[in-house]
A and B are shown apart, each in its own frame.
Chain A
Amino acid sequence: MNMSNNKIKEKKESRRTFLKKTALASTFATLAACGSDTSWDEFFQKNFKTLENDDKNKIIERLEKKYTEKYGKKFTVSGKDPIDDTLFGYGLDISRCIGCRKCVYACVEENNQSRDPQIHWITVLEMAKDKGVDLFHSNSDYDRELVPDDDHFYFPVACQQCENPPCTKVCPVEATWKEKDGIVVVDYNWCIGCRLCMAACPYGARHFNWSEPDIPKDEVNPETHYYGNRPRYKGVVEKCTFCVQRVREGLYPSCVEICPVGARKFGNLLDPDSEIRYILKHKRVLVLKEELNTQPKFYYFY
C-alpha cells in the first residue's frame, strides 16, 4: 500500500469514527428522550437477584432518593429476603365473600397501582348460582347498587402464587421468579415488557403498565419493597405479591385486613398450627384450573 492510499485510509478512518460517535450520541439522545427519567446507573443495572448485597443496597438507596424527590415524601424501599421456614398460603371463603370489592381498592392504595389508567391486581368475578364456578358465564364488570345479589356468588381472583408457575418459566430474561417463601415476584427494572408471562398466566393475574403509571402524591404509599409496591415504570409487568412488603414483616396482606366479612385468610403453610392449615384440614377446598398442574397456593373454600 502506498502513501496516498494510507492518507485516504486515515481520512476515512476519522470520518468513520466521527460517524460512529454521532450515531452513538444520537442513539443515546433518543433513549434519553424515551426513557424520561432513566439514569445511567439505572439503565445499566443488572438483574437484581444476581447482585451481591452491596450492589443491592446501592440500588435501594438510589431508588429511595429518587422516589422521595419525585413524590415529596420520605420513601423506604426494603430488600428484605424471605423468612426461613415460611411458605405463604391464602384462603378465600367463597360462601362469605359478598363482592364489595373493598379488597380491590385497598390493594390499589397499599400497592401503588396506577390510578389512570386503572390497574387492579384483584378481579372479582360475579358468578350465577345456577352455573357454579364457570368462568365463561362469570362477569367481572358487574355494577350493582347493592351486593351481594341473591342469584349470584362472588369469586375474587388474584395471583395464585403457583408452586409450578407457568409465567416465570416463559420469561426470556428471568425477570420474574418464585421466591423461597413461595411469592412470585418481578424485577421491574429488568422486565423487558414482552408480555409472554401474561399470555402464560391462566388466571389473568399479571398486569401491564400500558402508560406511565399515575399515582397521586398524597395517596402514594411510601413504605415499599423492591419486589413489591414500589412505583413501577411504563412498559413493565406487575402482579400481586401477597403484599411482600407487609408479610415479610409479619403483617397480613392489606386485602385480608380490609375484608369486612372475614372471607380472606392468610398464613404459613409450613406451620401446622396456622389458620391456613386448619382450613386445608377441615374445609372443602378447591383450586382454580387444577388440571393445568400449576399448583396454586391460593385455596378457595366453602
Chain B
Amino acid sequence: MAVAILLILVAAGSVAFHLLSPWWWTPIASNWGYIDDTITITFWITGVVFVVIVLFTAYCVIRYRYRPDRRAEYEPENKKMEVWLTILTAVGVAAMLAPGLFVWNQFIAVPDGAAVIEVMAQQWQWSFRFPGKDGVLGTSDARNITSENPFGVNPNDPKGRDDILVEGGEMSLPLGKPVKVLLRSIDVLHDFYVPEFRAKMDMVPGMVTYFWFTPTRTGTFDILCFELCGVGHYNMRGKVNVVEDSAFNAWLQEQRTFAQSLAEAGAGDGINPVSDEGGADAANRRLAQRGAH
C-alpha cells in the first residue's frame, strides 16, 4: 500500500516540482522560439503520458493487491486493446515528430542574405572573424597558421586581406539581422553555445560547420563550450554583445583587419602560404627572422 501512495506522490510531486521550479529556460534572445514551442508540445504529451501511467500503476496496486481468496484474471492477449494502444501511441509520436522535423527544416536552411561570420575555437579560447568591406570571408586553412596568422587565413586570397579579426573572446552582433555562423576548430572538438540563442553546433577540426540565427534582444550573453575539449573545457568562455546596428558598426570599425595585423606583426606583404610539410619549419624560420630584427 505504501508503494501506491509513493506512486501518487511521485506523480504529484513531479508536477509540483515542474510548476514551482525556478530552473527553466533562459529568456530567449533569438528567433528560435519555434524550438521552445516544440519542446512545450513534447513536454505536454509526454508529461500527460507519464502521469497517467504512474497513476494507473498506483490504481492497480491498490485495486488488485494480493488476497488469498482471489485469482488474477487469465487473459493472455487482448488484440483489440493492443491495436488501439499502438495507434494512439503512433499518433502521439507523430504529433511530436512532425513539428520537430518542420522546425529542423528551418534550422538547416539559412535565409538568403544572412550575414556570415566565423567563430574559431582552440584550446581554450574563442576568436571571431568578420568579412571586410567586400562582404566575403577569405579562405582559410589550419596549414596556414603561424604566430602572425593565428586564424590561418590564406594570405594570397585577396578576399581575406580585409577580414576583420577579433581575438580575446568577446564579440558584438547587430540586433535583428540573420547571421550564419561558420564554425572552425584548429585542434579538438568544441561547441559554440549561447543558451539564450538555443542554437548550437560542434566545431570539428578539418571541416567547417554552421548554424544560423537572428538575435532578437540586446544584451550581453555568455558563450560556453559545449563539447568536452580537455582540462580547460569548463573555463572556455566568451561573451557576445547584441547591440543596435550603429553600435555594431562602430565596434567593428575599431577592430583590426587581417592586413593590418600582418603589418603590425612585422611580416608584411612578404608572407607566403605555408605548405603542408613545412608548416612548423616555416613558423620557426619566421620566428628566427623576427628575433634577428
Our verdict on whether A and B bind, yes or no, reads: no
Q: Give the interface of A toward B (CB within 8 A).
A: none
